[in-house]
Amino acid sequence: MSWWNKTKKIWLAILGVGLLLIGISWMVFRPARPIGAAKMCTLLGCLSTIEVDVKGLSNSTSYEVEIQNLQDQNQTLTCVTGQEKPYFLEAHTCIAAGAIFVFDPDELPPEEITVTVTADGKTFSKVFHPTYKKFQPNGEDCPPVCYSSGIVMDVSQ
């Protein structure tokens, strides 16, 4: 047997063993989700919110914020300026100068809302068409779908 034939057989053997090892490695370390299988989602939750920032209130002023057309209902909070924003938000809550209203995730937010603020015996009302940010904590194809928006209500006039 010539030198070339011996070398060729050795290299073919090394190549064969290498391909075998690559195949075994792929079988052992293949992706957890087979290609084409359904996407797995985590179970993180979120809240859909509208934050109403009330401008023009003096310190320690008691005020009432009402939001209409949130899930076809009127929601009202009585607050005092200077309250801190809670670390965890579970339901409607007051903040330093305004309020945060919560609505159901996966439900489309209202296109139009009416905000009414009553402070120092005066009532201010305005219609808003909020712009919402969409948020999906578990990924694009996984529930829940939450929305958030912030609006500013100026009561200084």
Average pLDDT by stretches of 10, the chain with 157 residues: 66 73 71 62 88 87 87 83 73 86 82 92 93 91 90 88
When the pLDDT of each residue in the chain is averaged and rounded to a whole number, the result is 82
CB atoms closer than 10 angstroms to residue 13: 10
User: Strand ranges (DSSP E) for 31-145?
Assistant: 48-55, 62-70, 73-80, 93-95, 98-103, 113-119, 122-128, 133-135
pLDDT for 115-140, tens place per residue? 999 988 899 999 999 999 999 998 88
pLDDT of residue 55: 92
User: What pLDDT shows up at residue 96?
Assistant: 84
For residue 13, give the DSSP letter.
Answer: H
- 144 prior amide bond cis, ω within 30: yes
pTM over 0.75: no
110 burial via Cβ count (<10 Å: 0-12, 13-18, 19+): buried
Count the neighbouring beta carbons within 10 Å of the beta carbon of residue 57. Answer: 23
**DSSP bridge partners of 73:** 70
